[in-house]
Structure 1
Amino acid sequence: MLLGLIAGNGRFPFLLLDAARAHGLTVVVAAIKEETDPEIDARAAADPNIRVHWLSLGELSKLIETFQREGVTRATMAGQVRHKQIFSSIRPDWRLAKLLLNLRTRNTDMLLGAIAKVLADEGIELISSTQYLEPLLAQPGVLTTRQPSEDERKDIAYGRTVARGIAGFDLGQTVVIAAQACVAVEAMEGTDATITRAGELFRTLDTGDTTLSRSLTVVKVAKPNQDMRFDVPVVGVPTIETMHRAGATCLSLEAGRTLIFDRDAMKGLADSCGIAIVVE
């Protein structure tokens, strides 16, 4: 049985690739030149049931032709394609250019939803990126040794309200909170850059004001109508590393709609840094 994999950046494509192979699937990878880790070629060289085809961001026709030539009728997206690529590196072919011209807005939901429809019209069903990775979905509870403090709980409650509001507009899925005030909101730059920006901003504040908590809480949510085929919230060890550098002490995630990569390593690092991780 064949599965098409549209691979973005990071470890997500490799985890999905391993899970699909564990299910006995042959995987045809559409690797994006501007995003995908070249290590994907080494995986293909070591496994005859992995076939990699490289294409540039914007080559929608080539993607379709590649999958059709390989006999792919089911595909999934895994790995981030940085939002800013839509406005910089992308050089759309005629099919994608036509699609972009017909979009009301160029946010993630609109763009990927339109691409999914084009694929479906060509006989390629786009399936959930979590279908083979359900064990990695966050489950309710406190994942770390340290429980969140009362102040962090208040920041989580406030942060969820703000994060769900911006997620509903498809602006981003992460906010950074301190003392029930919003320090940073995610937009096109991505989660890690948002956390870093919050840390830099917070360090410029007057530390003589003892009424303001000196720690940051990161709240990450799914969109209200999250399409699990793409743009699923993801966290892992790099998230905790970034939080530690920024001075953040608590991470809040949404149960059942967030993927956690390297859970044990992530928990161990969070414990060593004194960071609480809460899933609700």
Structure 2
Amino acid sequence: MPSELKLGLIAGNGRFPFLLLDAARAEGRQVVVAAIKEETDPEINERAARDVGITVHWLSLGELSKLIETFQRAGVRHAVMAGQVKHKQIFSSIRPDWRLAKLLLNLRTRNTDVLLGAVAKVLGDEGIELISSTAFLEPLLAQEGVLTDRSPNEEERKDIEYGLTVATGLASFDIGQTVVVAAQACVAVEAMEGTDASIERAGELMRTLNSEDAQDAASTLRRSLTVIKLPKPRQDMRFDVPVIGERTLETMIRAGASCLAIEAGRTLIFDREFLVRRAADAGIAIVAVAPRMTL
């Protein structure tokens, strides 16, 4: 098969790799999957067993040389990253090979963007171009506007506007993509734990504040949670693209959140129809906003 029809897929966790895999195969691409032992769902093997156009190679997070060799042997010249790799995995569980160890020693900072950008450069130097992870999934990008039957109420709109200011400021530091707000107060900010864990933490905090013992002290925060998830101002769409799906929504429901704001055009929505129905059942409003849009 011509090399331009081959695609390398660096697969993290969740459904993202499977959606990208299906979209690439629908375009006639042969897909060479680099499955990460610490993250990728083993179901990817079953998917490959049913489709001769898919091959799967398992490797660990720190095996950068093996990744390059795998793609080069298969004749891969273009690759995508799809699926989350937990930040704490990258910085705690990783056992770097010589090539990655050398790269890590030369990093000016140890945040995810810098690390993945450096990996992308190494791949490029070896003849493997890393392309946008949305290249095959543009129909799944959020369109601007209210996505649910219910629009954010006045209190939620205030929380979104405040949360946009906080999230935009934090995003430039590559700390995280998510801010959780209640009554124009910042309840939680995403760090290495990831979006869902930050929402869960906000829910736990609000349950504590709203408990009977803390009722008087928490009177100013007795509100529902609003979740704001934004890409970075100069988001590199080759990796770490914001994604929302069933897991995010179910986490919001458990945490007692009532509203979700995302950025239009740069956030992927998985299972949109299901998500809208489930949000309606739970009374959750979802809105896709332009950067710094006034609501």
Partner of 1:68: 72
Partner of 2:247: 238
1:56 and 2:60 are equivalent in the alignment: yes
Gaps of 5+ in 2: 290-295
Cα offset, 1:238, TM superposition: 1.0
State the SS of the aligned residue for 1:29.
strand
- The Cα offsets for residues 154-199 of structure 1, whole Å up to 9 and x where unpaired, read as 0000000101111110000100000100000000000000000000
The answer to whether residue 286 in structure 2 is matched with residue 277 in structure 1 is yes
Matches of 1:44 and 1:239, distance apart in 2 = 27
C-alpha separation between the residues in 2 aligned to 1:102 and 1:96?
10
Alignment match of 1:212 (pick from 221, 225, 243): 221
Aligned-residue offset at 1:141: 1.0
Among candidates 4, 10, 17, match of residue 6 of structure 1:
10
1:173 equivalent to 2:177? Answer yes
Secondary structure in 2 aligned to 1:230? coil
Q: Please point out which of 116, 124, 129 is paired with 2:128.
A: 124
- Secondary structure of 2:261's counterpart equals strand
SS at 2:258 equivalent? strand
The aligned counterpart of 2:105 is 101
Q: What RMSD over aligned residues (CA atoms) do the two structures have, in Å?
A: 0.8
- For 2:123, the aligned partner's letter is L
Q: In structure 1, what residue type is equivalent to 2:30? A: T
Aligned partner of 1:195 in structure 2 is: 199
Give 2:236's match in structure 1, choosing from 227, 231, 242.
227
**Offset from partner CA, 1:50-100 (integer Å, 9 cap, x none):** 000000110000000000000000000000110001222210000000000
Q: Secondary structure at the match of 1:204?
A: helix
| 2:265 aligned with 1:251 | no
Give the distance between the partners of 1:106 and 1:212, measured in 2 at CA. Answer: 35
2:158 corresponds in structure 1 to: 154
TM-score when normalising by structure 1? 0.99
Identity %, equivalent residues: 77
SS at match of 1:5: strand
Equivalent residue number for residue 292 of structure 2: none
CA deviation digits over 1:186-219, x for unaligned, max 9?
0000000000000000111133454434200000
TM-score, scaled to structure 2: 0.94
1:36 and 2:40 equivalent? yes
CA distance in 2, matches of 1:140, 1:221: 13
Amino acid paired to 1:50:
I
Unaligned runs of 5+ in 1: none
Q: Deviations over 1:89-127 (max 9, x none)?
A: 210000000000000111111000000000000000000
Distance 1:123 1:211 in 2: 57
Counterpart code for 1:199: G
Instruction: State which of 87, 103, 122 in structure 2 corresponds to 1:83.
Output: 87
